[in-house]
Structure 1
Amino acid sequence: MSNSLFTPFDLKSLTIPNRVWMAAMCQYSAEPGGELAGVPTDWHFTHLAARAAGGTGLIITEATAVSPEGRISPYDLGIWNDEQTAAFRRITAFLKSQGSVPGIQLAHAGRKASTERTWVDRGRPITPAEPFGWTPLAPSAVPFDEKSTVPEELTAERIREIVGQFADAARRALEAGFQVAEIHGAHGYLIHQFLSPQSNRRTDEYGGSFEGRIRFALEVVDAVRAVWPEELPVFFRISATDWLSENPEDGREGWTADDTVRFAKELLAHGVDLMDVSTGGIVPDARITTGPGYQVPFAERVRSETGMPVAAVGMITDPGQAQEIVGSGTADAVLLARELLRDPYWARHAAEQLGGTVGAPVQYHRA
């Protein structure tokens, strides 16, 4: 078990140098409109490059929208045009030069779109009447909360259009130099909205039964897999539970851990190579059980019951804790988020503590 956190991980044709990975974290730092909307800036370069210099094995961009209306906020990154694609090439080239693998999270916010940056009015919804605001899209015309704009219910034709947008975004991501494509199906965003009966009230082929509610997600996976090279991996980020069924005092129906295991088997059959297991996000008032590594058991269950490789997330901060998760076979890798904001060199510091090694920039080498 010693040093397993710093052993390479082979997935398809890729060898990821270690098991310390960076989770997608929104920066809300792109221009909100005009020709530079959604285009990565010097901030995004610095933010991602610092973690590569710090020894992180796989670095996943923030939720990157497949269309303008798919952004969480007007300040999100996007990959729906050539300007965005070209700007990402500088980032992916640098990450590769440091030995890190560049990954991109392809996303559509659905009914949680058109909000302010989190540090402005606590990320309040921006109405369609305000500058840079728009009407969100969703499987059903059910708003996220009482402050949110009622979303437009998607027609079957619009659903097919969004599936195509995911495919186009994946093609552009490949052109931009990314080596991992992660489909964002978690945290209450559009794909998760289709999965959960709490947000999906449809009665057509995209709603109702488990098979109906997973249909959109599988269509997105198939569309991405069709344009993404077979030798490169596709990840899927899931919210393993809506935290509704776990609460005996909450009678609402939601997506459950049992659903996640069942769905993981479907994803395997459709060419997904790894599940990134998170939780929550479908309603604002779910009672969530927290604590160090509180989401790790969900990842462990997917891995043990399906054989699918998994990455674990959720308050993983201590090197010993991360080593135990990987070394015990609970998960194949850990995805760090806020801890990597606090310490871009977390992987290097963890290696020093545990007796492992990570690559270092040649500029830092000393005879």
Structure 2
Amino acid sequence: MEEEHSIRMDPCSSGKDKPQADQLEFGRKFTDHMFLMDYTGEKGWHAPRIVPYEPLTVDPSAMVFHYGQSVFEGMKAYLTPDGDAQLFRPERNFQRMNHSNNRLCIPSIDETFALKAVKQLIALEKDWIPKAEGTSLYIRPFIISTEPYLGVAPSRHYKFIIILSPVGAYYKEGINPIKIAVENEYVRTVTGGTGEAKTGGNYAASLKAQEVAEEGIAQVLWLDGVERKYIEEVGSMNVFFKINGTVITPALNGSILEGVTRNSVIQLLKQWHVPIEERKISMEEVYQAHKNGSLEEAFGAGTAAVISPIGELVQAGDHLEINDGKTGAIAKRLYDTLTGIQYGKIQDPFGWVEKIEDVKQTNLKASG
């Protein structure tokens, strides 16, 4: 039988000093409060609460430490010119979290309740949203398995947690193209694995390739794990190539994460009547397009950078400069449009924005 829950509020007695805009570093500073909710097989999801940000007490034998059963999401809260706080397509993040939960054998969450919990937490912490151009409040919802047990099986206990971190502008001096290395040795994941889930193990598996990349390389371009020829992602972003007037992005194949920004880019391109294809694209196709002059642009798309232009691809000693190392027109238009919608500076024709009421909600309820 479903049980109703109210979010318990336990505000801290005194807040931390907020960092200056020029001191913001991604994921280093955190707000005064966090959201917590527990799961047991007997009670389901229960005891939702907003409490002071503090260390967790977790048993050393908690299953997350041994078998990596965890998922997470990433989104942002933005301040509009009028001082309102808003989110960008957060419902897609919680839909994807449940997709990840299913793959990792984690109980699903109530997506509507999770969104309301985020809104209540941000309403409480609104003063933490930085005001400087291009800054925002990063939101990290995550679930970890906490049952103290060393057997290899799905956990019966979990914690759902949301923490917030003020972050600076990704591009401090304007949107700039980056240098990317094509990864030929390591793979990120394979179809049938966990690539389409947002789980920590995927990111742990990606660290080695970045660590051994040559000086000046910002990210690596991942190829498929079977034939080692088809492009999948760039760093932790989805990737797009504009070839002879058509924008091409790798089709979702079970090993590629379905990005919220990726979906937004595709919708914008369709609205602008720019040809867009979701299909397999090989590194050889990109190489030949560069050789014959039809490779016009390349860029990554993700929450942190929104749009990250690729100015150069490096593979086995070959250096493929794209668009003279400059930001392409499509990448710039996408960046300006997406950030304009996110910060409330331009019209949102898709209904992507979720407003956060500037009140402390006290009667929030959800199904357990």
TM-score range, shorter chain: under 0.3
Decide which structure has greater helix share.
1
Decide which structure has the larger Cα Rg and report it: 2
**TM-score of the aligned structures, taking structure 2 as reference length:** 0.26
Structure number with higher strand proportion? 2
Choose between structure 1 and 2 for higher RCO, CA contacts under 8 A separated by at least 6 residues.
2
TM-score, length-scaled by structure 1: 0.26
